[in-house]
């Protein structure tokens, strides 16, 4: 397997100007490869290369850009096994889930390839023909987090090149390799300078967000970083897509069929060890089924096989990094001190690796950190309610607004509750499902802008109205 990686600037593989840094495998706490580190000057070079390439790439015929994306999908497919192993080594997730991530990356790339950029007819009259066209923006800066490193990079980068932009990518320093590999593959297909990547900390992200020659930042990560990016972006009025933190609530109605919903709730709360922006992070259960559902969730949790993602039969990997692992431990300890009952898990596993077993905490209410804050890890607080209006009010009483869900048998009743949730996606009898054709994004402090589908694609364009006088 490839263990040395380069930056890509202007179509060339280049070494970082700064000292390479080790990337830790969260299953062992040991470094497994070194990542190149760019200097701010290399960020400037990458942006300059992207700006130069944009002059011609923006005019590439649409059909050619579609074909390029399909070729990139072919290359991801040809390198699928290596990419999946890289994702597991750097991110920690079980190999089967990493393979699903690579499958998602291929699917999203092909779907984006086939999307059309619409021209909207505004007026066709004897006086004038008016059409609304879409033009690419220029250089797009992509900044990505560590939870779904390959897939989120694909979500950012494919619409950029599909619409005729060029890009500079900066992955998380916790999980840089799958994105470095992806950009290496993209460079086999696109003209030099279209696809650039820089890695490292120490102001590299900020050098991008304050760069005068970047026209848009697409960012997925935490809300405080998103706020910082928004401040920096003001200088040259960068377009922004901000996919930020979430603290999604799920509400289980009294008529829910627990045989069906318990496994689905577990799956959507603990997807990727709970390190998923739109995972179910607070569960409100009607008192009539509260104890029963808590027991069922705890049973499913105790059946998970926790271990290194490359080991056979493992269903649950480590938390990705030490800081997140410590946060999860801290929130669980605080919940215990506030009277929370631990029904499964509740303490880190001994030995190397950031292993924290899936943890179900009952007996809590709002006002406790584990309920109010985003845990972004393998622990789910289950909160009892008796009145649905109160449950909806508590679900909405949070600064975040990414997703929410309602679980029940009477779909019309569930739909009424779902329509009252303050969030970008409301699921019924599901949660955390994202699809290439379904626009996805948050509201409130979870950010703004959409990804996926035509709406997501158009975020990489600026409208231009064409008004042809017939007078």
Name the 3-class secondary structure at 36: strand
Residue list 21-40, contact with ligand NAD (CB under 6 A) = none
35 an active-site residue? no
Sketch the per residue contact string, 327 through 366, with ligand NAD: x for CB under 6 A, - otherwise: ----------------------------------------
Q: Does 222 participate in binding ligand NAD (rule CB under 6 A)?
A: yes
From the candidates 35, 277, 294, 423, give the one annotated as an active-site residue: 277
With CB under 6 A as the contact rule, the residue among 29, 44, 77, 228 that binds ligand NAD is 228
Q: Taking contact as CB under 6 A, which single stretch among the options 26-34, 108-116, 144-152, 461-469 is the one that binds ligand NAD?
A: 144-152
The two tokens of residue 371 are 């309920």
We find the least distance from the C-beta atom of residue 312 to ligand NAD, in angstroms, to be: 28
Torsion 415-417-422-427 (CA) sign:
negative
With CB under 6 A as the contact rule, the residue among 145, 274, 307, 357 that binds ligand NAD is 145
From the candidates 90, 101, 184, 243, give the one annotated as an active-site residue: 243
Residue list 152-181, contact with ligand NAD (CB under 6 A) = 170, 172-173
Position with the least CB separation from ligand NAD? 205
277 an active-site residue? yes
Distance CA 436, CA 450 (A): 12
Q: Does 246 participate in binding ligand NAD (rule CB under 6 A)?
A: yes
Say if CB 216 and CB 239 are below 8 A apart.
yes
Q: Is residue 220 classed exposed, middle or buried when 0-12, 13-18 and 19+ CB atoms within 10 A define those classes?
A: buried
Distance CA 347, CA 336 (A): 11
Distance CA 64, CA 377 (A): 42
Distance CA 4, CA 174 (A): 16
Q: Which pairing describes strands 195-197 and 248-252: parallel, antiparallel, or unpaired?
A: unpaired
Q: Taking contact as CB under 6 A, which single stretch among the options 3-11, 242-250, 259-267, 280-288 is the one that binds ligand NAD?
A: 242-250
Q: Does 449 participate in binding ligand NAD (rule CB under 6 A)?
A: no
Q: Does 92 participate in binding ligand NAD (rule CB under 6 A)?
A: no
Sketch the per residue contact string, 373 through 402, with ligand NAD: x for CB under 6 A, - otherwise: -x-x-------------------------x
Residue 344 neighbours by CB under 8 Å, 6+ apart: 297, 298, 299, 301, 302, 357, 358, 359, 360
Distance CA 173, CA 202 (A): 11
Interface with ligand NAD (CB under 6 A): 143-147, 170, 172-173, 201, 205-206, 209, 220-222, 225, 228-229, 243-246, 277, 374, 376, 402, 442, 446
Looking at the annotation, which residues are catalytic? 243, 277
């Amino acid at each position: 397997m490839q263990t040395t990686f380069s930056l890509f600037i202007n179509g060339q593989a280049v070494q970082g100007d700064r000292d390479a840094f080790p990337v830790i495998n969260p299953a062992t706490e040991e470094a497994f490869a070194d990542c190149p580190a760019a200097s701010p000057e290399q960020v400037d070079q990458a942006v300059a290369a992207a700006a130069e390439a944009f002059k011609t790439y923006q005019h590439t015929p649409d059909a050619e850009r579609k074909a390029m994306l399909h070729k990139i999908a072919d290359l991801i497919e040809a390198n699928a096994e290596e990419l999946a192993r890289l994702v597991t080594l750097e991110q920690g997730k079980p190999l089967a889930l990493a393979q699903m991530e690579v499958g998602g990356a291929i699917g999203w790339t092909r779907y984006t390839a086939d999307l059309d950029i619409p021209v909207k007819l505004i007026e066709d009259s004897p006086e004038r023909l008016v059409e609304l066209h879409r033009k690419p923006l220029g250089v797009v800066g992509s900044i990505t987090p560590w939870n779904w490193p390959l897939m989120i990079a694909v979500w950012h980068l494919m619409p950029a090149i599909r619409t005729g932009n060029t890009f500079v990518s900066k992955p998380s320093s916790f999980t840089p390799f799958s994105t470095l590999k992806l950009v290496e593959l993209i460079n086999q297909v696109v003209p030099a300078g279209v696809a650039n990547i820089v890695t490292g900390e120490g102001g590299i992200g900020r050098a991008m967000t304050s760069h005068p020659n970047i026209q848009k930042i697409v960012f997925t990560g935490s809300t405080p970083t998103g706020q910082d990016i928004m401040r920096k972006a003001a200088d040259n009025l960068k377009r922004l897509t901000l996919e930020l933190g979430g603290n999604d609530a799920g509400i289980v109605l009294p008529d829910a069929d627990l045989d069906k919903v318990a496994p689905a709730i577990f799956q959507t709360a603990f997807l990727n060890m709970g390190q998923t922006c739109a995972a179910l992070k607070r569960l409100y259960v009607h008192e009539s089924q509260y104890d029963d559902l808590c027991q069922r969730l705890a049973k499913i949790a105790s059946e998970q096989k926790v271990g290194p993602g490359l080991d056979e039969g493992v269903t649950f990997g480590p938390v990705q990094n030490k800081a997140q692992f410590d946060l999860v431990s801290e929130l669980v300890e605080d919940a215990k001190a506030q009277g929370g009952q631990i029904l499964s898990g509740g303490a880190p596993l001994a030995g190397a690796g950031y292993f924290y077993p899936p943890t179900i905490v009952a007996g809590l209410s709002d006002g406790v950190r584990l309920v109010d804050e985003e845990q972004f890890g393998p622990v789910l607080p289950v909160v009892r309610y008796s009145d649905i209006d109160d449950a909806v009010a508590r679900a909405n009483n949070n600064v975040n607004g990414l997703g929410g869900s309602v679980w029940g048998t009477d779909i019309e009743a569930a739909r009424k509750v779902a329509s009252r949730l303050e969030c970008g996606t409301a699921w019924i009898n599901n949660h955390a499902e994202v699809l290439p054709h379904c626009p996805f994004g948050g509201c409130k402090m979870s950010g703004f802008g959409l990804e996926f589908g035509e709406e997501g694609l158009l975020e990489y364009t600026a409208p231009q109205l064409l008004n042809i006088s017939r007078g």
